[in-house]
């Protein structure tokens, strides 16, 4: 894969340009999905991130039913994500439960792509299962405690590429301005080193620039709020699109 190759998620190509906008849908149950989907579609983003960690029932049957409801109320491509508390989400799950839930998400028929956390023990097996089904994998590393050194971020993304991830994602928390530059530098270098699209986010107010200055350091997508923010520092979809359009001429309103 060359650096200029895009990864198709549903009908939406990610990487290298224009920068795409994702918004998270965080429903407690299938009954909440129609109203949340309508709010998101009014924005609208390019893709929906379905945060299944907000579901009260994550059994295989419940996931499949909820996926069907989402498909019937939105035609946007869907990235499925199970985010644990340590990664900024709500799921309190064991390694076994994580593998089972993400495996059920992959099998549900409701996803166009799946997010798999690099540090999970089943990351290799889950990635292989997604690829067996022809489903792109966004492999991610989240660090809410700080910003690792650029060399460590690059090592993490190298591991993701080694697990055959289609898109490499890192999201970190800065404590000083220099941390934002570390994240941007690592993302820029990773795009050339690993030949895969990169999503790189420095969270919170200090890292807000990375949510809209994506094109400057090679990040192919950003997350914005439409039916509630899923991480600190997010702008609304409309705000994000306006700023992307000013900073990157390939993005349209």
User: Which residue in the list 54, 73, 142, 155 is annotated as catalytic?
Assistant: 142
Active site residue 142: yes
Residue 187 vs residues 58, 63, 110, 113, 236: alpha-carbon distances, Å:
33, 33, 30, 21, 23
Distance CA 135, CA 121 (A): 20
The DSSP result for 77-95, as a single string, is: -EEEE--BGGGTSSB---H
Kind and range of the H or E run holding 162: helix 150-162
Active site residue 20: no
Residue 94 vs residues 28, 86, 89, 107, 142: alpha-carbon distances, Å:
20, 12, 14, 20, 17
Catalytic amino acids?
Answer: 142, 169
């Amino acid at each position: 894969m060359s650096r200029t190759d895009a990864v198709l998620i549903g009908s939406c190509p990610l990487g290298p340009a224009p920068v795409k906008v994702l918004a998270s849908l965080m429903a407690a149950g299938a009954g909440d999905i129609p109203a949340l989907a309508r709010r998101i579609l009014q924005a609208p983003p390019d893709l929906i991130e379905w945060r299944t960690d907000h579901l009260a029932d994550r059994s295989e049957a419940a996931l499949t039913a909820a996926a069907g409801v989402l498909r019937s109320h939105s035609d946007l491509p869907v990235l499925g994500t199970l985010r644990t508390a340590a990664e900024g989400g709500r799921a309190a799950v064991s390694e076994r439960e994580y593998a089972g839930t993400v495996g059920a998400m992959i099998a549900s028929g409701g996803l166009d792509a799946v997010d798999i956390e690099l540090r999970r023990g089943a990351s290799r097996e889950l990635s292989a299962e997604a690829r067996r089904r022809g489903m792109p994998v966004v492999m991610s590393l989240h660090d809410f405690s700080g910003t690792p050194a650029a060399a460590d971020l690059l090592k993490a993304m190298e591991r993701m590429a080694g697990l055959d991830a289609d898109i490499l994602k890192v999201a970190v928390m800065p404590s000083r301005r220099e941390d934002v530059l570390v994240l941007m530098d690592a993302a820029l270098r990773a795009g050339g080193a690993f030949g895969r699209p990169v999503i790189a986010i420095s969270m919170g107010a200090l890292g807000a620039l990375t949510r809209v200055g994506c094109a400057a350091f090679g990040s192919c997508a950003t997350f914005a709020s439409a039916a509630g923010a899923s991480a600190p520092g997010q702008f609304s979809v409309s705000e994000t699109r306006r700023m992307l359009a000013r900073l990157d001429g390939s993005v349209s309103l």
